[in-house]
Amino acid sequence: MKQYLFINGSKSVQIEKEADDKINVFIDGKKVDEDQFKDVLSDREAFAKQAQRNKYRKFLNKQFENLVILTGAGSSVGIGAKDKNGKEKKGRLLSHLWDDVESKYTKAKLNKFCELVHYSMKDSRDEYVKNLESLLSMANAAKEYVIDKDLDIKEMIEEIQQLIKDSCELILPDDAPHLPFLEKITKRKVTLPRVKVFTLNYDTLFEQAALKKNFTLIDGFSFSFPRYFSGRNFDYDIVLRDSSRVKEEDNFITRVLHLYKPHGSVDWEKTDRGIKQSEKVSKALMIYPKDSKYESSYEQPFFEMMARFQQSLRKENVMLICVGFSFNDKHVVTVIQEALEQNPSFQIILVNKNIRDDGSLKWLYDLSFKHSNICLISEEFKDFAENYPDLKTYNQDEFRAIKINLPETHE
């Protein structure tokens, strides 16, 4: 069985497991000689991982004028800390959420719901395929026409959506990869455009990481409270006027980045005054998993987010790093495909737990062998964040927050 760990044109790292559990390592298509393992590493998989990381570090060890990050479920799955009630809650995939729905309603009730909305995707064992997105799509199409005395389809859709929102209300743990990742990607010349992070996740892990590391987020919401959304807020920046040599000169401060959430967030809600950000909301403004995600992206504030994503990928010398993104979202993939076809200076790195040569990733997998501006990396987010090159040249440690421990007073 062969598995690619890294693909970038003619450069690659691959492992092959034989029937006797022997592992062969191939670098740039050439098998590594046996004698190289004796003195370097006895663990051949570790040898291959080290070779992979050396290659992507080299690829990333330079300044890109425009750096864009796109993250999907893979950047949140398995990450989370205990809430105030002591319950441990971690990011989950849609397949995990199917199990949560089943646990809440029982398997029999979920099966009946599937039957009512004519969801018929089954596996070889005659069990329903755990595709919550397709199920909700069919349920939304059927809710106006199918009536059952024992099961209210509309009510169950709302409850499933509430379950999704609740599962995404995560607390950032101290060892989360978001923290070192933000530190590293923002170590840039301050004269370069700000790093832009687009996350398709509903959770607030990036916001919590930015707060913990004393970053300033430009996220489309006003700096005054209560915070309301306006697309023009993305055009603003933060400068130090007093440090400028002349009045008209800009002196951009460090530790500032843009954050965009094209699918919404657990802390957004629609009000009479506009879209508001709050710690607790009753009905979150989110594009829930369903086939109509493409159409929903044409509504505000989602349209603004997608327009900014498209604009970002049209810039010169732009690097897009996709972390944990499945490439199943048509409206997002279309923008990436346009950049690959139309922007000669566009480069893309895909970081996923596994590099697949089938399904939604096959087209990019095939292209990665032919073009040096496409790089595929088999790596989990936490390992990628740990091994992302740390550019010491632009060290910003002097901007760490100062913590003062005051003695407690007793009245």
List, for residues 126-144, the tens digit of each pLDDT value. Answer: 999 999 999 999 999 899 8
Tell me, yes or no, whether 296 lies in a domain: yes
In this structure, the answer to whether residues 140 and 242 fall within a common structural domain is: no
Q: How confident is the model at residue 271 (pLDDT cuts 50, 70, 90)?
A: very high
**Mean pLDDT computed over every residue of the chain:** 89
Q: Which domain holds residue 15?
A: 2-46
Tell me, yes or no, whether 250 lies in a domain: yes
In this structure, the answer to whether residues 312 and 222 fall within a common structural domain is: yes
Side chain identity, residue 178: H
In this structure, the answer to whether residues 155 and 36 fall within a common structural domain is: no
CA distance linking residue 168 with residue 200, whole number of Å? 12
As a whole-number percent, the residues of the chain with pLDDT over 70 amount to 90
Tell me, yes or no, whether 343 lies in a domain: yes
Give the pLDDT confidence of 308-361 residue by residue, as tens digits.
999 999 999 999 999 999 999 988 999 999 999 999 999 999 999 999 888 899
Tell me, yes or no, whether 53 lies in a domain: no
Q: Which of 129, 146, 167 is the last residue of a domain?
A: 167
Strand order in the sheet with 346-352: 30-31, 23-27, 11-17, 2-8, 374-378, 346-352, 318-323, 66-71, 196-199, 256-260, 216-218
Tell me, yes or no, whether 409 lies in a domain: no
Is it the case that residue 380 has pLDDT exceeding 80? Answer: yes
Q: Which of 144, 167, 190 is the last residue of a domain?
A: 167
Q: Which of 167, 197, 231 is the last residue of a domain?
A: 167
SS3 (DSSP) at 286:
strand
- Tell me, what's the pLDDT at 37? 67
In this structure, the answer to whether residues 6 and 42 fall within a common structural domain is: yes
Q: How confident is the model at residue 295 (pLDDT cuts 50, 70, 90)?
A: low
Tell me, yes or no, whether 183 lies in a domain: yes
3-state helix, strand, coil in the chain (%, to 5): 35, 20, 45
Give the pLDDT confidence of 89-133 residue by residue, as tens digits.
999 998 899 999 999 999 999 999 999 999 999 999 999 999 999
In this structure, the answer to whether residues 156 and 253 fall within a common structural domain is: no
Give the pLDDT confidence of 138-175 residue by residue, as tens digits.
999 899 889 888 999 999 999 999 999 999 999 999 99
In this structure, the answer to whether residues 127 and 162 fall within a common structural domain is: yes
Tell me, yes or no, whether 404 lies in a domain: no
CATH number of the domain enclosing 365:
3.40.50.1220
Is it the case that residue 367 has pLDDT exceeding 90? Answer: yes
Bigger pLDDT: 313 vs 406: 313
Angle at CA 319, nearest 5°, toward 340 and 384? 120
- Tell me, what's the pLDDT at 35? 73
Number of domains in the chain: 3
Tell me, yes or no, whether 88 lies in a domain: no
In this structure, the answer to whether residues 28 and 161 fall within a common structural domain is: no
In this structure, the answer to whether residues 203 and 267 fall within a common structural domain is: yes
In this structure, the answer to whether residues 256 and 279 fall within a common structural domain is: yes
In this structure, the answer to whether residues 185 and 225 fall within a common structural domain is: yes
Q: Distance of CA 223 to CAs 203, 228, 237, 343, Å?
A: 20, 9, 12, 34
In this structure, the answer to whether residues 203 and 65 fall within a common structural domain is: yes
Kindly give, in sequence order, each residue whose CB lies less than 8 Å from that of residue 274, ignoring residues fewer than 6 positions away.
228, 229, 230
Give the pLDDT confidence of 200-258 residue by residue, as tens digits.
999 999 999 999 999 999 999 999 889 999 999 999 998 887 755 555 556 888 899 99
In this structure, the answer to whether residues 212 and 155 fall within a common structural domain is: no
